[in-house]
Chain A
Amino acid sequence: MTKTLRYLRPYTGGLVLALITKIAGSAAELVLPFILSHIIDDLTPVKDTTGIYIMGGVMLLFALIALGGNICANRLSAKVAGKMTHDIRYDLFKKTSYLKCRQVDEVTVPSLISRLTSDTYYVNQMVARTMRMGVRAPILLLGGLIFCFLLNVKLALVLLAVVPVVAVPMWLITRKSIPMYMAVQRRGDNMVRSVQEDITGIRVIKALSKTEYENGKFDGVAGDLASTEFKAQRIMSLTNPLTSLILNLGLVGVIVAGAFLSSEPGDITGFLTYFTIVLNAMLGISKIFVIISRGAASSERIEQVLDLDEREEIEDCPEGDSRYAIQFKDVNFSYNGKEDNLRGVSFALEHGRSLGIIGATGCGKSTVINLLMRFYDVESGAVYVNGKDVRSVPADELRRKFGAVFQNDFLMAASVRENIDYGRGLSEGQIECAAECAQAKEFIDGLPGGLNYDLAQKAGNLSGGQKQRLLVARALAGDPEFIVLDDSSSALDYATDAKLRRALAHDYADATKVIVAQRVSSVKNCDLIIVLDDGEISGMGTHGQLLSSCEEYRAIARTQMGVAV
């Protein structure tokens, strides 16, 4: 947690000021019952009316100090916690944006998202609440005890004896409740998942008349959730009555002791008030416990990401053949270090030519792209772009040459223009030109607002084909040296797909193209086609050559085109 707490350092001033005002405010509050017993024990018996009024005024003054101090401290703590959260979120987001793909794989995308959203939220809660209550509660507890000692040492000892008796069960309850809380969380996730599942599968469920069955299943899931929640609640609900009970019993102890010791009634009255304060402080501390333990877990998760080293190493590597735009030399690669995803892949492509990659799902087509653009580094062998090993060039310099569409690529909730431009500051002409070539112009013009039309999250307001065309437009808009299209026309019908290919060949004749596809028709005009089979090249050549030399390619062509070619 130290690293997270270091984010507080720039705000030390505010933090200290908040602490001081908080302490002052809480201390002022503590004096009140003391004055009360002074009024009752010392002033009332001697009928000192003026004294009583003065003391009343003093009480009011202290109450005001408490009010001002606490409000001030709370505002300061909101500000400090807010600024700190902002800084953590900023650094975390920045770090995440630059993480290497392999690191993202390790942490996983959903986990990164929840670290940025939920975990930063809990750290914020931890800081804000601890500053508000975490300071106040111990001060009230400690101060309450001190004042008790000032009032009457022997009675205070009784009270002091009660504190650990309260602390132990509270600690036990908190410790037990955290895993239960997590269990509830899991059951809740289960419930949400089964609803999600059944909503997406509603057609299948209705078609197979499984409604009753699904209802029964859901009943089980919901029941499970309810009983887990109840189990957790049963323990958590103990806290309040139990602490009250123990402290109240302590109170009885004080009265009995007071009777034995023949104490002043005013002392006992003062005690009663401090008791309430101490009790509330104890409850506050137990809440802080839960918040801190959860915040600590969250900051742990945040620090894990912040500690990752995302820098790409630039190595000195021998140069390759500069005649080729792209060259793979005996490349081996594995994502998890166990099974090979690419084995002995070698090929070379001249400038301005086009490369087609075809093969079954999971055969390593996208992996070739990942290595080419250096999202991952090869295990052995080398990848050259324009004759230079990709490991010897800074990643941004390398990637700037590319315009790419990935499998399941994403569009953000922003205007069509912003999605094509994607932060590169392109000219209007470049954007329109790219949209036209990508066969996207027609539908964009049909949208209300044209290029200014706002996409919904995950571009939910576009069809699959429209999304793909927009992504292609994005890839083309920067006039890249290399165009990479990974499965970017699968949702297009054959006619549009053909038009797109024609436009690409015509408008971007100089660019080197890499096209990954499942359809033969998408790659058949490429200058070089690679057939991948389980990470190995099983055929290489032009469409015509492959038809005669590669059995695998022939088979694919036959099923897809249904003609004897």
Chain B
Amino acid sequence: MRREGNVRDTRTFERRKVSVKYIAVNLGRYLRPYAVLFVLIFFASLAGTALSLLGPQVCGLAIDEIHPDGTTDLTQIGVYAAVLVAVYIASGVLTYLSSIGLSYLSRCIIKRIRTDIFAHLMSLPVSYFDTRQAGDIISVLSYDLDTLGESLANDVMMVLTSAVTIVGSLVMMLVTAPILVVVFVVTIPLSALFTWWLTKKVQPLFRNRSRKLGELNGFIEEIITGQKTTKAYNCEEAVISRFEKKNVDAIDAYTVAESYGTISGPAVNFMNNLSLALISVFGAIMYMTGVIPTVGKIASFVLYSRKFSGPINEIANVLSEFQSALAAAERAFRVMEELPEPPDDKDAEELKDVQGDVEISHLRFGYTPDKVIIKDFSLKAERGDVVAIVGHTGAGKTTIINLLMRFYDADSGTIKIDGKDITKVTRASLRRSFTMVLQDTWLFSGTIYENVAYGSENVTREDVERVCRAAKIHSFISKLPQGYDTVLTDNAVNISKGQKQLLTIARAMLLSSPMLILDEATSNVDTRTEQYIQQAMENLMQGRTCFVIAHRLSTIKHAKTIIVMDHGDVVEQGTHEELMARGGYYSRLYYSQFDTAE
């Protein structure tokens, strides 16, 4: 079943040729473990369909045994009836089994692909996520895989049974009354031609329809979120008229697409009815001329013909769904081709018993080759030093952190920790030797306890409470009905941005890494609380090498080194006193906080 979220899938897909072979190879890998099951399902559905095809044949035989004049052999009819019941029950059971078998198979396969893609995503470098919309990645994991799964569960089944039905009923029709098959020489090309025309006509219309609906939904989301602003400027009318335009566009696209799309049902029925008419007339004539021996034959033939023409049109419909499933599958498999973080060097060592001496020399880096963010940066820091990085937003402060943690690798220059080049140690051990508190607090849906303990091993409840006390968040937590077991969700608990940040500070306090990164760590904490936790922050920084990014210059006045960045360049470097004495950029920045208007 396709999930509701799909209604709001607003991506615009680029249209390109999908490589069927590429998808088949990849999908094949996932299918292989279920090969036996798949074969079983295949035969079950084959048998089920074949049995259901036998039905009309037996019916025809039974009808021929019925004589209105009262000479009917009732035992013979009884036998036929018994056979029919057995056939239909067997066919029903087999059909059901094969359909849930296929559903099970597709869920298993999709689950595997899903977890594999997820695991692969986790192995990708941070740059992958920095350059993509989260929504696009999520769409692949949810919408695309749902589409693929749906196709595997239903469309495959449909094609399978349709094919069997078509072949089977054709055979049966040939057996029953070969001459009547001539009728289909007229109707099948007609159907095929029509379906081809309609698909060509309708597909772009439906794409347009989804796009317009997506635009409308995007607009709604945007405006409703900013409702207060609309009210403040009294521009409800203006907004409504903008909405109206999009609304009309969406409905127009809908009506056109729907008008054409809904032709197919009646058209299919018409083809069936046409066949029925032709068969009746033709069959009756043939019966009179003796080519067809019994009326029962015509009856069976009519039943088969109904079975025959249905699937042909269904296959045509399924083919277009296949198209979108293939496109979805390709997008999913392409994700797995993204290059993961290059593996650690073979002789990379574990970074152990880290002192926390950091030496950066002649670092050069740019996210894209044509735009160098850091030109030539050197720095030396020893255990316990505080290195502050200040500058405007977008000046490149966070880039230094990205390089230290090896989320990105420098273009040239080296970073050494305890004298070891960080490209020569394992990433995991390097990253473990840092603790980060970031401006964008990250909490996941789980209990408060789990969130604070995240990343630490062997922590007790007492440890968690201790750090929460130090971070001045304990009393808030204890007031919650579930205390530390309160589950954090998007909307359940009213927890402020500041409180979230305190939780991540508590998390950092549990970790005992020798180096600390504070990226605007207290930006969302109000000033009073910041005062309260000052002692705790100082304890946190005690004895560690700290890299601090801050807006509020008061927090970093005592730093060993202050690095002033502007437009990706380090413009000044030194202690607070030195920089103030120089009277340059830093001092201007410093004085601007006391700037008096007028």
Contacts and interface: CB of A to CB of B under 8 A. Distances in A.
Interface string A387-429: 0000000011001101010100110110000000011100000
A199 B557 CA distance: 35
A501 B597 contact: yes
B530 A559 contact: yes
A201 B436 CA distance: 12
Contacts of A83: 251
Interface string B211-225: 001001111111111
B251 A85 contact: yes
Interface in B230-268: 230-240, 242-244, 247-248, 251-252, 254-255, 258-259, 262-263, 265-267
B475 interface: no
Interface stretch (B34-42, B373-381, B547-555): B547-555
A49 B104 CA distance: 55
Given A196-B134, A266-B295, A562 B229 contact: no
Nearest to A495: B592
B88 interface: yes
A56 to B, nearest CB: 3
B598 interface: yes
A66 B407 contact: no
Given A40-B284, A184-B3, A269-B302, A226 B224 contact: no
B455 A210 contact: yes
Nearest to A254: B59
Contacts of A412: 222-223, 226
Contact of B498 (A227, A233, A361): A361
A361 B248 contact: no
A52 interface: yes
A215 B266 contact: no
B7 interface: yes
Interface stretch (A2-10, A72-80, A326-334): A72-80
A465 interface: yes
Given A272-B303, A561-B554, A259 B1 contact: no
Interface stretch (A91-99, A164-172, A341-349): A91-99
Interface stretch (B24-32, B116-124, B314-322, B417-425): B116-124
A232 interface: yes
Given A192-B5, A562-B557, A255 B81 contact: yes
Interface string A55-85: 1100110111011001100110111011101
B115 A458 contact: no
A206 B407 contact: yes
Interface stretch (B69-77, B166-174, B323-331, B461-469): B69-77
A312 to B, nearest CB: 10
B431 interface: yes
Contacts of B156: none
A259 B7 CA distance: 53
B134 to A, nearest CB: 5
Interface stretch (B360-368, B477-485, B520-528): B520-528
Contacts of A406: 228-229, 232
Contact of A89 (B56, B78, B247): B247
A227 to B, nearest CB: 8
B287 interface: yes
Nearest to A502: B597
B496 A197 contact: no
B68 interface: yes
Contact of A32 (B52, B276, B589): B276
B577 interface: no
B52 to A, nearest CB: 8
A82 B254 contact: yes
Nearest to A133: B265
Contacts of B95: 240-241, 244
B239 A423 contact: yes
Contact of A218 (B115, B218, B238, B263): B115
Contacts of B235: 422-424
B65 A402 contact: no
B541 interface: no
Most buried by B among A35, A47, A59: A59
B176 interface: no
Contacts of B551: 493-494
Interface residues of B, number: 169
A124 B427 CA distance: 54
A293 B283 CA distance: 45
A549 interface: no
A83 B225 CA distance: 26
Interface string B80-94: 110011001101110
Contact of B103 (A234, A269, A410, A497): A234
Contact of A272 (B302, B407, B438): B302
B296 to A, nearest CB: 6
Interface string A482-518: 0000000001011101100110111000000000001
Contact of A66 (B269, B281, B526, B529): B269
B302 A273 contact: yes
B332 interface: no
A382 interface: no
Contacts of B278: 56
Contact of A185 (B4, B8, B230, B440): B4
Interface stretch (A142-150, A245-253, A446-454): A245-253
A218 B117 CA distance: 11
B206 to A, nearest CB: 13
A518 B593 CA distance: 13
B274 interface: yes
Contact of A259 (B77, B213, B445): B77
A498 B592 contact: yes
B191 interface: no
Interface stretch (B15-23, B135-143, B351-359): B135-143
Contacts of A156: none
Contacts of B531: 555, 559
Interface stretch (A110-118, A316-324, A430-438): A110-118
Given A86-B248, A199-B138, A498-B595, A209 B232 contact: no
B182 interface: no
Contacts of A396: 234
B5 A188 contact: yes
Contact of B407 (A36, A191, A203, A505): A203
A457 interface: yes
A219 interface: yes
Contacts of B295: 40, 44, 265-266, 269
Contacts of B259: 74-75, 78-79
A97 to B, nearest CB: 5
Interface string A194-237: 11111111111111111100110011001101110110111011
A360 B527 contact: yes
A262 B74 CA distance: 10
Given A86-B247, A93-B220, A209-B428, A269 B63 contact: yes
A263 B121 CA distance: 69
A222 B233 CA distance: 45
B43 interface: no
A157 interface: no
Contacts of B561: none
A208 B454 CA distance: 8
Contacts of B262: 71, 74-75, 77-78, 132
B388 interface: no
20 contacts: A36-B302, A63-B274, A97-B239, A198-B444, A199-B137, A206-B126, A219-B115, A233-B1, A242-B96, A245-B88, A256-B81, A260-B74, A265-B66, A269-B299, A276-B306, A413-B222, A423-B237, A423-B238, A495-B589, A524-B596
Please provide the 10 A-B residue pairs with the shortest distance between their CB atoms, ordered closest to farther. Answer: A423-B238, A562-B554, A410-B226, A208-B455, A56-B281, A70-B266, A423-B235, A59-B277, A360-B526, A498-B595
